[in-house]
Structure 1
Amino acid sequence: MGNVLRFLYGKCCRPTTSDESLGPHGVSASTVGVSALARDLFQFEITSQVPEGLSRHVVSSKKAQANWYRKLVEAWRESKPPPRTPEEAARLVIGTLKRHQKADIEGLLTFYGLPLPHTLVELSTVVPTSLPEEVQFELQTLPVDAKAVADGDTITVYVSTADSRESTIVPSNVQLAAVERTRARAAKNYAKADMIHKEIIESGYRVLNLQNEEILARKYRIRLRGIDAPESSMPYGKEAKEELTKIVQGKCLRVLVYGQDRYGRCVGDIYCNKVFAQEAMLKKGCAWHYTAYDQRTALATWEKEARAKRVGLWALSNPEKPWEWRKARRECR
């Protein structure tokens, strides 16, 4: 089926540690999804056997299941590029098996932990070609680390001081400290280098190592404009954080900054690989439209679509507004 499928198969079949729980088809929870489907398609080519346990999720016979896998093997081979995300894998399954029973398609997707048809969303790829009048400045960030995502509407980003805007505003003490740190490391005085780096961090900067190159970068905390995601300790808070992480992890972002909030965070719109992050979060039911601070009709429409589909937090029986949740806790203090 090709190198990509074999690569995913190899990842999927790595030994499972004793503290990892197994998924329904015998792989660890961390490999459920695209790699697990790739593994089973690869195995089917060799053995013509469908995975054990699938029959508990679908209604059709083993013979019918084998027919699905033959079709999926062919579809995967012809897809260019092959599926790499859960959404792409789900679309391939749905498109390939569209003439089969709904219960079978949904059962197969559930078996692999892939998104169900009603939860898939279409995202626009239109990004501003010129800055809106209200934008104060624009940031082009370095790749985002997963640990930088605080929750479903707040992330920390870094911008290289080589950026034209940043280069003119780096404090002289930070510039000197960066030079001294480099000298300390060259002399293998790592204790001194670490001490200097702490001073740099306290000034709002950090030295990042990207592809074996050290880059002095400025830190920005970004609050996504116009949405309010559940807090981490609220129902669906963990899922909202995970969704935003999937959107931004490892990617360079374009951030249009409109101002600051009372916590000193930059309030902005985030674009990632031509995807508008706020649109993705709203359409997937991971956030509310924050109408108290943003009246954009598009955001209201995206929230309404997610509510109608009952996806994400809208599948909860009585989702609580994050701003009301925070207010209630302030009043209890």
Structure 2
Amino acid sequence: MTSSPTDIAGKAVRETDSTVLLTPRYEGTNICTWIGFKHVNYLVEEAVLAHFRSAGVSARDLYEEYGVGLDLVELDTRVLTALHADDPARVTVRPVDGDGGGALRFRVGIEVEQRDGATIRAASSKVAVRLRRADDATDAPPVPGGLAGHVADSLGAGEPVDVAVPPPGGTRLADGRGGTDDPVLAPLLADRNAFGWKWRIPYFYCHFSERLQLSGYLRQLEEVVDLFLADRGISIRDMLTDRQWIPVVPHSAIRILGEALMEEDLYTVYTVDEVFKDFTYRSTMDCYVLRDGALRRMATGTITHGYARIRNRRDWSLVDFDDRVHRALAGPGSR
């Protein structure tokens, strides 16, 4: 029997490697010309989207023709070497066996050609994708062959949190980047070396007209780190001004547990989990929404940081933590 074009497309997504040449976005060159972890992950996301596109089932086609949204729901990335602005990145996407839970899983590798002509591995990622049926897609045709088992009616309802929740404070536009004193945060922060932040989800962090997308959580992770460091007295600008130190991220991971919706209040808790000697520290980000008087955890992630000293406009070197950094990471009341 001859396979249909849609069957071939589904098979290509699930079984065929793809490679695309990409360039990091200029937006990510915040310190000198180095690319931050968020934009390394953007390269991974773009390569996964290109993988579907090259198979003949782009994210646009899946939504407009078949009524399903393509959602990255897990992203785990290890940065092996620094990427710079204008680096030509060769990104390969390799399908791997699913977990039986409906996710399409991929391994993604980034290689970069250096100025001397050598090619090195820059990053590696593990990615999970879900196809989420749109609520108004009752009359849409079936998705291409082989992908039907990966379509779900929801990305999940989140994980219930068993804590007593006080009445929330209001969300004011005057809060700008959000507030840190909402009563709902208190039970989430109790007995934890953590920082809490309430924030209204804007439409430009969302997709498919309703829900916070994974790249939005990456932006959330980047911002809560920035606010945490400022709250602990070692803001990024202060460390740059005082000693030319910058945070570096060898590892980050995010997993979506449920659907946080546009204009909901998102309660983000950033917890320092462990400091590894004087070199790196690992933290967890948990994101919650309040529905029907109960908290639900909608996403979780981890991030590992170290510090590097800028030697010149091109080079940096890793440094050990000093007492100031150790005290900040240990939290209020530490010596």
Give TM-score scaled by structure 1 length: 0.26
TM-score (normalizing by structure 2): 0.26
Q: Find the structure with the greater CA-based Rg.
A: 1
Q: Specify which structure has the higher proportion of strand.
A: 2
